[in-house]
A and B are shown apart, each in its own frame.
Chain A
Amino acid sequence: MITMPQRSPPPPASRILDEAVIAGLGGLGEDLLTELISLYFEQAAEHLIALGAAIGRDDPPAVSRTAHALRGSSSTLGAERVARLAGELETMGNSGDLTAADGALTRLVDGINATSGALRGRSARCTPTP
């Protein structure tokens, strides 16, 4: 008898958010989670601006450094997609070749927007409607 190979689950990196991480953070209180999220987006906005500038002046070390920081805070918050996309830019920065960086930055911006949407959706689900 021939069995079909099991379909492997989608790679976790394709997820926008790691819900388990968010749920764990939520355990410390919604107030703290809200604070962390707004802190995260404040940082992310600064990082995006810094990345754009670093790519514009062809400064791979700065790209790598900034992308690394963004990847870090994204992991902390379970923002998997942004972490992965920032990781791509970090790798480019490390390699010194920024030719594909513009495209990566665009995807990163999209990723951050998607994360923002997902977090809003989550908080809408969590917040009881009056």
Chain B
Amino acid sequence: MRVLQAEDEPVARRLTEAVVRDLGHECQSVVDGAQAWEAFLAHRPDVVISDWMMPGLSGLDLCRRIRAHATEPYAYVVMVTRQGRRAQVVEGMTAGADDYLVKPLDRAALGARLLAAERVTVLHRQLSDQRAQLEETNLELAAMTLRDPLTGLPNRRALHDDLDLLEARVARYGQRYCIALLDVDHFKTYNDTYGHQAGDRVLQAVARELRSQARRGDVVYRYGGEEFLCVFPEQTLATAAIAVERMRSGVEGLAVSHADGLVATVRISAGLAMFDPEHKRPVEEVLKDADDALYRAKQLGRNRVERASLRVVSIGPVPQTSNVGRVAAVDRTPWRERTP
């Protein structure tokens, strides 16, 4: 171990140094508390053996400073007091000392202290290693819980966290977002016909396509089942609709092959809503709007993009190139209670 000794009395200092080295440890000696503090910061010793009475910074103050610093690795502090100073022992231990020695120095006593110090510092080191490992594992686990293992997309849990953030940004910075809900058409039939593994491959292919169509800053989530959600920052409904339409048409162009050699066509429907500072409302309402628009898209024949029209003031020009932008009467029944 690396031992730092603070002792102003030369004979005791030389003696401690000799005993510590004789016991197989390194020893650095300083003559007062201030030097000890500097040496502590510079060299991070495993053990600090400090005399109680020193000019300037006392042993007690030194001990308090070391503990207030709260560093890794743990420093084992031994306070050295004169015989018959029991009150000092208690005060020193209260200040954070691990052990004490009584002067004049006894070789066996110092040896015993260093054995205890070794044991405790090893334990502290193991603990701090384990803590570091745990933190790493926790980070990995946290990352895992935020990602959908099948598609590699951020999952609904991640979305939940991100939506809080979005809500705050809309409220505080006046930012605007469009949110699209996208659903694979006839996925249940597909699953029933080709099996779950084929269904999983479709979801993976759709996820890849959505991600490749998304621009930097757009985020695609797996919302659940065969549903995806996309967040478009700083977009109007009109511009976001173009992006979603690109996604829809990209998915339509996908060729998902099957074991039997057949190639299936996959299509998606999408509902789009806007979240903006002019219309302050909880993000749940925006999701509801997107969900309603998606329902409309399903009702109007699927494989299309619908925009929410309620509560939206400024809608950009509607592109004429596709079936984007057709708005039907809004059905306010929650989407989950209906059949797709």
Measuring CB to CB, which residues of chain A are less than 8 angstroms from any residue of chain B? 21, 24-25, 27-28, 32, 35-36, 39-40, 43, 68-69, 72-73, 75-78
Partner of A40, one of B11, B22, B53: B11
15 pairs, A vs B, C-beta closer than 8 Å: A24-B107, A28-B22, A28-B107, A32-B15, A35-B14, A36-B11, A36-B14, A36-B15, A39-B11, A43-B10, A72-B12, A73-B10, A75-B104, A76-B11, A76-B103
* 0/1 interface trace, chain B 8-50, chain A, CB 8 Å (1 if under): 1111101100110010000000000000000000000000000
Closest to A42 in B: B10
How far is it, in angstroms, between the C-alpha of A28 and the C-alpha of B17 when the chains are bound? 11
- Minimum CB–CB distance from A41 to chain B (whole Å) comes to 10
Q: Which residues of A contact B171 (CB under 8 A)?
A: none
**Contact between A28 and B106 (Cβ–Cβ < 8 Å)?**
no
Interface size on B, residues (CB 8 A): 17
Q: Name the B residues within 8 Å of A78 (CB-CB).
A: 104
CA distance A40 to B18 in the complex (A): 15
A65 nearest in chain B by CB position: B55
**A32-B18, A36-B15, A76-B15 are contacts. A27–B10 as well, Cβ < 8 Å?**
no
> Shortest Cβ distance from B103 into chain A, in angstroms?
6
0/1 interface trace, chain B 98-126, chain A, CB 8 Å (1 if under)? 00000111110000000000000000000
Residues B104 and A76 in contact, CB atoms below 8 Å apart: yes
Query: Which residues of chain B come closer than 8 Å to A69, judged between CB atoms?
Result: 8-9
- B209 smallest CB distance to A (angstroms): 79
Residue of A nearest to B9 (CB): A72
Binding site for A on B (CB under 8 A): 8-12, 14-15, 18-19, 22, 53, 82, 103-107
A73 touches B107 (CB 8 A): no
Closest chain B residue to A75 by CB distance? B104
User: In the complex, which residue of chain A has the Cβ closest to the Cβ of B105?
Assistant: A76
Q: How far is the CB of B177 from chain A (nearest CB, A)?
A: 74
The answer for the CA separation of A5 and B14 in the assembled complex, in Å, is: 45
- Chain B residues within 8 Å of A72, by CB: 9, 12, 82, 103
The answer to whether B18 and A28 touch across the interface, beta carbons within 8 angstroms, is: yes
Contact of B104 with A21 in the complex, beta carbons under 8 Å: yes
Neighbouring B residues of A21 by C-beta, 8 Å: 104
Distance A39 CA – B29 CA, assembled complex (angstroms): 16
Pairs A-B, 8 closest by C-beta atoms: A75-B104, A73-B11, A76-B104, A76-B12, A72-B9, A76-B11, A40-B11, A32-B18
A43 and B11 contact, Cβ closer than 8 Å, known pairs A28-B19, A32-B18? yes
Q: Report the separation of the CA atoms of residues A69 and B105 in the bound assembly, to the nearest whole angstrom.
A: 15
